[in-house]
């Protein structure tokens, strides 16, 4: 049921794969219908991580016999200045992710140029608009959405009648792109983009968004007023626009976050009851057991309060359900075989360092499996520092090594000439990998996990040397399956967050899920969240309390990751705090939230969802 507050149709799909399948189905239908009429199918295409799944689906359909020879494509945008062969160029992105695998004629592919002189850009933009008009306009336009609400690169302030043009990029957009360029300072200041007016002339518009970091802007675009500050909100005026989202990107929609406000016939499950009562505590600023019938009535929760004869009974039922989630040290399991899967070499201590500390003390058999090398997140200066350390150590101990000297010089020469976002040579990648590995071993030791209980899986999907990864494949799944068969865990811990801006956490979870489908046993799965946010009180199944000493120990473990300290290469675009600061604030905030609800005053807490 779509809530009355939504001004654009929103389709919530189970995951990004189902979004890709649904959108690819619609595109193929359109292409084949046009082919049957001897006509052309005009597609407006987007870039970024969101549409890659759609493009992979289209490639699969082509291999199954679908022809795209009658397709004409117009891309939304390109950075400026940007040569077509650059790693970050959308010309290159489209060629590698779509065009090289389909049978679209080369002269039917149009992408804005980012390599023309500035004085030629106005004429080029006018020509681009003329080409769209020449082919009769765009039939289906694919869009992503930026955290600033932009579609294409139509930044805040863009007007509904704008056409293809050069535009200065918003600071938030440049921060979001920093990972692709290995630093915000390398991101171009401008881009060439189709205008809002160009997009709105498409016969059909499909916007896709995934992940909780897009939830707020999706809500503003769909439920807020139409405003130049959120360019996507102009789609409210389009007669045939739809938005496809995954559960993460839907979380701020009224029908998901507070469905009782738009659906009086809601089914009051235990989980929904918890969410509503906790929301009511926030609205009234009261502890849970202080809520009164008039509080429920005054905030529209008539149907909930009607499910019980006494308000106190409902309050106590929810209170006891939440209290049961708190697992003190003596209520955690002991003697279990456990695997903590850590997407990057620091997610284990960042997300659940305190719980690892408790589990190790309770004599559980803990293995930490670091799924990727994390080597792209190491600064070049750390490589040079390590080379100097090894060279000086060899010299002072009288054990100089000519082979190392050759490798060191090769690495130095490469780094001296390295261009922004250039892929590292294998020698540099190996050094960066081992910097992360040594830090992971040191961090795990702080929380009681010995070096021999750390595993470095180095999953193949990550081995690209750049931010964009390969799809999860059979080799990735096989490596995880081998570890499961070797350890035979009773409990596994998995990064279950969907806010990871780089997608690695999501892909690691995907690989684990597929391995578990093939694994004979069924271990208990505890899902933690990464550095970006924590589970909500109604979402979590377990809260593990931490003392002040526990939290400080956890922070010390995070400090062992020196390459990520002070300034991390990929901190996430929306938060300038260091990882340890986020952890401290997040864990203490969770405890404070329970305190406000009337529960014991714990110092800090880590939260998990169990399945």
First to last CA, the chain: 27
Is 33 a catalytic site residue? no
Query: What is residue 98's DSSP assignment?
Result: T
* CA–CA dist 13, 244 (Å, integer): 7
Alpha helices in 182-305 (DSSP H): 196-200, 215-223, 254-257, 270-284, 293-298, 302-305
Neighbour-count burial of 611, counting CB atoms closer than 10 A to its CB (0-12 exposed, 13-18 middle, 19+ buried): exposed
- Containing H/E element for 494? strand 491-495
The neighbour count for residue 90, using CB atoms within 10 Å, is 24
Helix/strand number for the chain, H first, E second? 20, 17
Residue with tokens 């016939």: 265
Q: What are phi and psi of 405, to 5 degrees?
A: -60, -40
H or E segment and range at residue 58: helix 52-63
Q: Classify strands 140-143 and 204-209 as parallel, antiparallel or unpaired.
A: parallel
What's the CA gap between 564 and 551, in Å, rounded?
19
3-state secondary structure of 39: coil
The answer to whether the beta carbons of residues 69 and 31 sit under 8 Å apart is no
Show the tokens assigned to 556. Answer: 């010390």
What lies within 8 Å, CB to CB, of 563 at 6+ separation is 377, 378, 379, 382, 435, 436, 439
Burial code of 226-245, b = ≥16 C-beta within 10 A, e = fewer?
A: bebebbbbbbbebeebbbbb
Phi first, then psi, for residue 562 (nearest 5°) are -65, -30
Nearest alpha-carbon partner for 538 in 390, 318, 391:
318
- Owner of token pair 């995951």: 15
Long-range CB contacts for residues 413-416, cutoff 8 Å, separation at least 24: 415/380, 415/383, 415/384
Exactly one of 78, 155, 223, 534 is catalytic; name it.
155
Length of the chain: 611
DSSP-assigned states of every residue in 488-528: --SEEEEE--S--TTSHHHHHHHHHHHHHHH-SS--EEEEE
The DSSP symbol for 423 reads P
Nearest to 494 by CA among 470, 475, 513: 513
Per DSSP, which regions of 89-189 are E strands?
Answer: 109-110, 140-143, 165-168
CA–CA separation, 597 and 325 (whole Å): 14
Confirm if 575 and 532 have CB atoms less than 8 A apart. Answer: yes
Residues noted as catalytic = 155
């Amino acid at each position: 049921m779509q809530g009355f507050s939504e001004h654009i149709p929103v389709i919530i799909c189970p995951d990004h794969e189902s979004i890709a399948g649904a959108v690819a189905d619609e595109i193929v239908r359109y292409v084949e219908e046009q082919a049957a009429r001897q006509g052309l199918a005009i597609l407006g295409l987007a870039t970024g991580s969101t549409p890659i799944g759609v493009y992979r689906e289209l490639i699969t359909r082509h291999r199954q016999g679908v022809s795209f020879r009658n397709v004409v494509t117009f891309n939304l945008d390109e950075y400026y200045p940007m040569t077509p062969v650059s790693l970050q160029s959308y010309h290159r992105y489209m060629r590698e992710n779509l065009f090289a695998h389909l049978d679209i004629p080369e002269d039917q592919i149009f992408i804005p140029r980012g390599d023309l002189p500035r004085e030629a850009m106005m004429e080029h933009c006018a020509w681009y608009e003329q080409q769209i008009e020449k082919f009769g306009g765009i039939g289906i336009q694919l869009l992503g959405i930026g955290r600033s609400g932009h579609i294409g690169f139509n930044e805040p302030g863009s007007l509904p009648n704008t056409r293809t043009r050069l535009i200065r990029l918003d600071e938030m957009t440049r921060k979001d792109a920093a990972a692709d360029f290995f630093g915000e300072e390398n991101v171009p200041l401008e881009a060439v983009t189709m205008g809002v007016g160009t997009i709105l002339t498409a016969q059909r518009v499909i916007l896709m968004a995934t992940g909780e970091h897009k939830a707020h802007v999706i809500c503003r675009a769909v439920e807020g007023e139409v405003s130049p500050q959120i360019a996507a909100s102009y789609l409210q005026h389009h007669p045939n626009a739809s938005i496809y989202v995954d559960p993460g990107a839907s979380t701020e929609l009224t029908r998901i976050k507070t469905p009782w406000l738009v659906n009086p016939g809601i089914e009051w499950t235990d989980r929904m009851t918890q969410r509503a009562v906790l929301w009511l505590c926030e609205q009234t600023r009261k502890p849970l057991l202080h809520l009164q019938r008039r509080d429920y009535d005054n905030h529209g929760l008539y149907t909930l309060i009607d499910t019980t004869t006494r308000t106190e009974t409902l309050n106590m039922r929810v209170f006891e359900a939440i209290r049961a989630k708190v697992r003190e040290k003596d209520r955690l399991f002991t003697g279990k075989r456990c695997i903590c899967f850590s997407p990057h070499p620091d997610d284990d201590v960042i997300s659940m360092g305190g719980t690892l500390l408790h589990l190790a003390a309770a004599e559980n058999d803990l293995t930490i499996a670091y799924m990727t090398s994390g080597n792209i997140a190491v600064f070049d200066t750390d490589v040079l520092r390590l080379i100097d350390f090894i060279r000086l150590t060899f010299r002072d101990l009288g054990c100089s090594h000519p082979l190392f000297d050759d490798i060191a010089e090769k690495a130095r020469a490469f780094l001296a000439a390295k261009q922004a976002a250039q892929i590292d040579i294998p020698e540099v990648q190996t050094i960066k990998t081992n910097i992360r590995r040594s830090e992971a071993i040191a961090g795990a030791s702080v929380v009681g996990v010995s070096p021999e209980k750390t595993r470095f899986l180095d999953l193949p999907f990550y081995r690209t040397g750049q931010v964009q990864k390969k799809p999860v494949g059979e080799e990735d799944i096989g490596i995880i399956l081998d570890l499961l068969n070797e350890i035979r865990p009773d409990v596994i811990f998995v990064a279950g967050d969907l806010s990871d801006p780089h997608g690695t956490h999501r892909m690691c979870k995907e690989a684990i899920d597929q391995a578990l489908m093939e694994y004979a046993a069924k271990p208990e799965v505890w899902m933690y969240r990464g550095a970006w946010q924590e589970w909500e009180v109604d979402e979590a199944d377990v809260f593990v309390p931490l003392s002040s000493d526990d939290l400080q120990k956890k922070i010390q473990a995070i400090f062992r990751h020196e390459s990520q300290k002070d300034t991390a290469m990929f901190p996430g675009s929306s938060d300038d705090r260091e990882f340890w600061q986020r952890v401290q604030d997040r864990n203490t905030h969770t405890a404070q939230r329970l305190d406000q609800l009337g529960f014991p005053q714990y110092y800090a807490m880590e939260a998990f969802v169990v399945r």
